[in-house]
Amino acid sequence: MVDSILAGLLDGASLAAHLAESEAGDIETDRQPSPRAARLDARRRFARVRQREALRDVLPTPPAPGEQYHIISAAKWDFWTWVPEMITWLGGRTDWLYCSTWTANRAGIIEMFQLCDAGAIGSIGFLTGVYFKRRESAVYATLLGGLRRRGFRYRAFPNHAKILLLSNQARGDWLTVEGSANLTSNPRTEQYCITNDQALWAFYRDWFEESLAKIPE
């Protein structure tokens, strides 16, 4: 299975075509990924497969309601890796995805929209730092354009908080992830705390809503 995935990722021509098709509606610039960028995206996709396998080895099941996990990653996965895995925990759908990060990478943003369009994410509220908007302008354009076209909200401000909120009200699951990592692929040791608790989820949800309601800077 892994060999077949890797073989597909290394097919540069078909990969570039796939990226162009899947991302065409989410880019507000004239700049398309170069062949080199496409190859880098391919390696990152394969790396995410391995990261999710490593995460499942450590956390095969979610915390029960009222339970909390504390994890140190030893650079085996990035912060985005949590999102698809938690959606699986929630039965394949989260009613909400709230995300706060200082900066983010293109691969995670594209996958977020793919999950959204597949019905796995109901609604999104996204916060970043001003650094992301100024220094990652192409990724910022992808994120902002994709969120606006889907009717979701975004704000950049002097923000360094790293928080994820997912929920499935019908199942009674309210997942909060607090961590040190950004939504990037930097290979660093990071710490995370994941909690299944509605009161904590609502506390952070209120902060997200207050932040998103303020006039963008």
- Walking along the chain (217 residues) 10 residues at a time, the average pLDDT comes out as 32 35 33 41 48 64 88 76 89 97 92 96 96 91 96 95 96 94 79 93 97 77
| pLDDT number for residue 32 | 40
- Residue 198 has phi, psi (to 5 degrees) of -70, -35
| pLDDT number for residue 168 | 96
H helices of the chain, where?
Answer: 2-9, 12-23, 35-58, 82-89, 106-117, 130-135, 137-149, 198-213
CA angle 161, 164, 166 (to 5 degrees): 155
| pLDDT number for residue 126 | 97
| pLDDT number for residue 22 | 34
Predicted structure pTM score = 0.74
| pLDDT number for residue 192 | 86
| pLDDT number for residue 5 | 29
DSSP summary character for residue 103: -
| pLDDT number for residue 13 | 36
DSSP summary character for residue 11: -
CATH number for region 2-213: 3.30.870.10
